[in-house]
Structure 1
Amino acid sequence: MTDILTPEQRSTRMSRVRQHGTDVELRLRRALWRAGLRYRITAAKALAGRPDIVFPTAKVAVFVDGCFWHGCPTHGTKPKTNARFWDEKINRNRARDVLVDSKLAEAGWHVIRLWEHEVKKELEHCVKRVSLALQTAER
């Protein structure tokens, strides 16, 4: 299927895609708060990769990765138009994720990466993963 938008229109549309405060991220944050887990979001700006949610005392960083942007093996889609560009872009994102994870681990942080579809369909499981990481970090 050919893109019906001009390159300029596509660029404008893509520039409006939110990086933080997405619906999925807000859904997870509300569930964590309801579970009594108190987190920070502004403290993440100082950390490698800018995690979506951080628990500074326990040194737990949570990322909510979009299925498209991070190449989810289950739900990630590959655009037909400009396929090479998108393959390279998604591969760079995935390589950066690995680098960020290792930098945070070297600094003593525990990293949790959740897929967008996990938060949408298995929210309670995601909350349990975070809660378990926090319990483990407290020991």
Structure 2
Amino acid sequence: MADIFTTSKRSQLMASIRSQGNLSTEQRMLSILRANKMRGWRRHIRLTLRGPNPPVQHGHLRPDFVWKRERLALFLDGCFWHGCRRHGHIPLTRSAFWSAKLERNMERDRAVSRALRKAGWTVVRIWEHDLKDEANTVHKMFKAFARTARNRSVRSNQHRRVSCSSDP
């Protein structure tokens, strides 16, 4: 079916649509965290990466869940947008565009994880499909907390290159 809008009008319309986020995925993770009495997290805290060439625009990023004291950042990665090898796919229309777009997303994810780890943070990435297996998700989180506890005694002030703020 032919589009009734011009390319520029369609682009303008699409740009005006604001994301709703990954609400259902986050709600599922919230229920897992609460059911397993994992406390101390905050949602969508803005972390600012300092230093040259941050992996994201202006050095700001917002993990889905942050434990500031433990320096733990949790990202919930959707299978499509983050290139899951099991469930992700390249759409048949404009496949070159989507292939490049999803590759950039995956590269950005790797760069953000690298930068946070270099700054002394523990990074956990959980795939959308992994939330269906609650036991596995809980196991990943407990392993991450164990890593943060081990790393806390090793950290020094030189790793303080990330600042947190609750500003939207």
Q: Tell me the TM-score normalized by structure 1.
A: 0.83
Mapping 1:1-139, distance limit 5 Å = 8=10, 12=14, 15-20=17-22, 22-38=23-39, 39-42=41-44, 44-47=45-48, 48-119=60-131, 121-139=132-150
Equivalent pair of 1:71/1:90 in contact (CA under 8 Å):
yes
Structure 2 unmatched runs, 5+? 49-59, 151-168
Identical amino acids, percent of aligned pairs: 34
Corresponding residue pairs, total = 135
Provide, for residues 67-113 of structure 1, a one-character-per-residue CA deviation record: whole Å limited to 9, x for no partner: 00011000002111111111111000000001100110011001111
How far 1:131 moved relative to its partner? Answer: 1.8
In structure 2, the CA distance between the partners of 1:123 and 1:15, relative to structure 1 (3 Å rule), is: farther
Equivalent pair of 1:37/1:131 in contact (CA under 8 Å):
no
Provide, for residues 41-89 of structure 1, a one-character-per-residue CA deviation record: whole Å limited to 9, x for no partner: 14x2124531101111111111010100011000002111111111111
Cα distance between partner residues in 1 of 2:2 and 2:148: 48
The aligned counterpart of 2:52 is none
Greater radius of gyration (CA): 2
How far 1:5 moved relative to its partner? Answer: 8.4
Which structure is higher in helix share?
1
Q: Tell me the TM-score normalized by structure 2.
A: 0.70
Which structure is higher in strand share?
2
